[in-house]
Structure 1
Amino acid sequence: MLTDSDNRRGRWGQDRRLEFIDTRLTWLGRINRKELTEFFKISVPQASLDLAEYQARAPSNVIYDRNEKAYVATSDFQPILIDGGSARYLAELYALSTGVIGPDVSFLGWTPTADVVRHPTRMVSPSVLRSVAHAIRERESLSIHYQSMTRPEPTARVISPRAFAYDGFRWHLRAYCHLRDDFRDFVFARILNLAKASEQKSVPHVDVEWERELSIVIGPNPLLDDNRKRVLALDYGMANDRLVLKTRQALAFYLLRRLGLDKSMDQPPEEQQIVLLNREDLVPFLPQLQKRSERMSQSL
């Protein structure tokens, strides 16, 4: 007799195979039984059942082509189980290209030849990562020695980790620093050692800068000619020469820095092709913008 857990495993197994079918039809436009049997190590009858189940769920998505001996996506095909957007496909292609995942776990099947620009990887110790993840889950405080860029020697601190964040180049953790009495960002590689704090500290319930959402509004540099503005609008998917990017306040300056918008507009338009349209609105939340502008004007 099958138990509830057995039933769940069975449904989960077929659900994953149906996602596999949906993925192959989305990106390759076809699938056959052999692909299912080889990837999942299942029998031909089981593969036939899975394909029949998919057809029952989405009868207008697929037809069987006797010449190709394969199930082929129709002209009306729409994915029913996966995100068919380009971002998901390119993220998986990136993971495949960098070796983060192997072809044996990817549902994509055939992919075009691809490579990525390599850049130095900021180190994250697995033991530190595990300890921090555990502290976030259990709401614990940690004693650490941290090497900042502003001090020659490491400082002893007690922190209460709350979240992970990625700035486009490196992962860091968001934590309440009991030395500074504030929420701060800590780069993993600069944590020299850590242990569970002997005394668990109280933490403010809300990290305002983490919870507050800001709108970053960008557009083509107004000094560019109309043709180049149109090209940039296409590149970034702008509407009326504007694109609004939503981000947490705690991550906003990282976003601006990555876009090259953390400084005032003083570069030739061919180099600074996009500009920040709502700089003044952001200064109350990102005072770094004002400080950098002031420093640059003083240096002129």
Structure 2
Amino acid sequence: MKHETIKPSQRKRYEFIEFQLMWEGTIGRKLLKDKFEISLQQATLDLTSYLDLEPKNMTYDPRQRTYVAQSNFRPAFVEGEATEYLQHLEMLHHGYRAADEIWPASVPEFDAVRMSSRKTDPVILKTVLRAIRNRHCVEVMYVSLSSESESPRFLYPQAIASDGHRWHMRAFDSDKERHSDFVLSRIEKVTIKESDVKEIPEDDEWSTIVYLRLRPDPNLAERQRERLEVEYDMNDGELLLQVRQAMLFYYLRFYGFNPLEVDGGMIRNKSSFSLNIVNLEEIERCLKRRN
């Protein structure tokens, strides 16, 4: 209850204080002042008011002239998860934030895989977004890697989605009478057809939620299975994922499965991350494979 009336701007500064205590072990007035462009007086007020709220989390060290985290530190404004720290490094690495905009006070040496950007024309994206908002048809010149057809396609965009590597347009294909995914970077030209309006069937695969149940490969040694259960934060030895049926193929690939590699008429039930699908038959039915 004591935290519910705190203003959002104040809460954000408390989150920063806890972030520093969690990962750096200290927090001082100047760092708080510079990060949020506030006065030293305000920074002092923030630190003392935080100390009033969470007196067991930090103490002032006159020798270092800064606040230091206590051994029984327990965050109240942040989760205290490793992802909170690592996301700042990812934002810096991908250029979403500058070095003075992320929260780690001392950035360690690090590197990360930088995916080659799938270039999407902003004009094409704006047109697709407009068609989604207004429920319009678009005429599209699309370069498909599975077909050499160069004829225009008439599509009704419904949503956009990412498979982790590239962005797709989820659209109803009026020629094939089905909803499909179209890679945005493969659209060469798109034109709104405002006058061509029709009733679009419900995209059942988009609106249907599928439960994907994963577990460590039972052939692993017990110690290895236990490690995977901790790594994926499993409950009772399983990782339960709620995914859109339309996104199921991409989730399977994300967790190291190759849905196109079939054994006995179904997915080969072993991922590159040593995981198995518990409900394999159900997942196979949900994939609705097409030739």
Using structure 2 for the length normalisation, give the TM-score.
Answer: 0.81
**2:118/2:185 contact within 8 Å kept:** yes
How far does residue 31 in structure 1 lie from its aligned partner after superposition? Answer: 1.0
2:277 is aligned with 1:276? yes
Query: Which whole-Å CA distance do the structure 2 matches of 1:35 and 1:204 have between them?
Result: 55
Deviation, 1:222, is: 3.1
Change (3 A) 1:142 1:52: farther
Structure 2 SS opposite 1:108:
coil
Choose which of 232, 236, 246 in structure 2 pairs with 1:236: 232
Judged with a 3 Å threshold, the aligned counterparts in structure 2 of structure 1 residues 193 and 267 are, in CA distance, closer, same or farther, namely closer
Instruction: Give the 5 Å matches for 1:37-56.
Output: 37-56=33-52
- Once residues 251 and 221 of structure 2 are traced to their aligned partners in structure 1, the CA distance between those partners, rounded to angstroms, is 26
1:112 — aligned with what?
Answer: 108
Please state how far the C-alpha of 1:202 moved relative to its aligned partner: 4.1
In structure 2, the residue matched to 1:209 is 205
Residues in 1 aligned to 2:269 and 2:175: alpha-carbon distance in whole angstroms: 43
Q: 34, 37, 40: which is aligned to 2:30?
A: 34
* Mapping for residues 170-189 of structure 1, pairs under 5 Å: 170-189=166-185
Give the partner amino acid of 2:86. L
Alpha-carbon shift at residue 118 of structure 1 (Å): 3.5
Return the offset for 1:172. Answer: 1.4
Distance 1:208 1:54 in 2: 49
How far apart, in 1, do the equivalents of 2:269 and 2:247 lie? 27
Counterparts of 1:91-102 in structure 2, within 5 Å, are 91-102=87-98
Give the conservation status (yes or no) of the 8 Å contact 1:25–1:31: yes
Report the alpha carbon displacement of residue 128 of structure 1 after superposing the two structures with TM: 2.4
Residue of structure 1 equivalent to 2:123: 127
Report how far residue 33 of structure 1 moved: 0.7
DSSP 3-state at the match of 2:170: strand
Q: Is the 8 A contact 1:216 1:246 kept in 2?
A: yes
8 Å CA contact retained: 2:163, 2:251: yes
Mapping of 1:1-300 within 5 angstroms? 13-199=9-195, 201-204=197-200, 206-258=202-254, 259-262=256-259, 263-264=261-262, 273-288=274-289
| Cα deviation, residue 282, structure 1 | 1.6
| Per-residue Cα deviation, 1:218-253 (whole angstroms, up to 9, x for no partner) | 223333444443443344334444322221111111
* Secondary structure at 2:118 match in 1: coil
Distance (Å, rounded) in 2 between the aligned partners of 1:260 and 1:60: 46
Shift of 1:76: 3.8
Given that 2:257 and 2:270 are in contact with CA atoms closer than 8 Å, whether structure 1 keeps it comes out as no
**1:102 Cα deviation after fit:** 1.6
Q: How many residues align?
A: 280
- Share of identical aligned residues, percent? 32
Cα pair distance change 1:72/1:163, threshold 3 Å: farther
Alignment gaps of 5+ in structure 2: 1-6
The answer to whether the Cα contact below 8 Å between 1:217 and 1:245 also exists between their aligned partners in 2 is yes
User: By how many angstroms is 1:271 displaced?
Assistant: 6.1
| TM-score, length of structure 1 as denominator length | 0.79
CA deviation vs aligned residue, 1:254-295 (integer Å, no higher than 9, x gap): 11123224234698989673222211112221133xx79xxx
Partner of 2:3: none
What RMSD, in angstroms, separates the aligned Cα atoms of the two structures?
A: 3.1
- How has the CA–CA distance of structure 1 residues 109 and 138 changed in structure 2, closer, same or farther, with 3 Å as cutoff? farther
Aligned residue type for 1:276? I
| Counterpart in the other structure of 1:8 | none
Task: Return the letter of the residue paired with 2:145.
Answer: M
Aligned to 1:79, the other structure's residue is in SS state coil
| Alpha-carbon shift at residue 64 of structure 1 (Å) | 2.2
